[in-house]
Amino acid sequence: MKEEHKFDVTETLTEADLEALKTAVNNTSAEEVANRAKKYVLKNPVEVAGKRITELNIDFERLKGRDMRRIAAIPECIDEETKFREFSKNYYAYVVAAASDLTIHEFDELSFTDATAVTMLAQIFLMGAVSETTG
């Protein structure tokens, strides 16, 4: 019988990373996330096709409705379990790529830690924007 490996995200993220994410979700407005994300320094720089990537300049505010519709039309952005795009890491990966001028191939080369952090920023930004407009 094949042994199943259970992945624990806490093996990759430090206690400080987890605490920062929890604080961000609870106490950060969409505007604060947008300002913080504008220059995200990678913990693990990567090189893709001869291009060294050490930081991401993420501007969520520049995305338009057409970007949302284009990303939402990508079939792999649908969460298989819930059928909602808003719960899909793929959706957030494409949002980050669009907001930072990365290709999705370049995004895929980010370390797990960096990819998790920037997709969480996208999620917090988008969910924060919704909560700020609904009360």
Render pLDDT for 77-118 as a digit per residue (tens, 0 to 9). Answer: 876 776 666 678 889 999 999 999 899 999 999 999 999 999
Render pLDDT for 124-133 as a digit per residue (tens, 0 to 9). Answer: 888 775 444 4
> Domain total for the chain?
1
Residue 65 lies in a domain: yes
Residue 103 lies in a domain: yes
Residue 4 lies in a domain: no
pLDDT at 2: 42
Task: Give the domain range for residue 86.
Answer: 28-134
pTM score, whole prediction: 0.70
Q: DSSP secondary structure string, the chain?
A: -PPPPPP-GGGTS-HHHHHHHHHHHHH--HHHHHHHHTSEEEEEEEEETTEEEEEE---GGG--HHHHHHHHT-GGGS-TTT--GGG-HHHHHHHHHHHHT--HHHHHTS-HHHHHHHHHHHHHHHHHHHHHHH-
Residue 14 lies in a domain: no
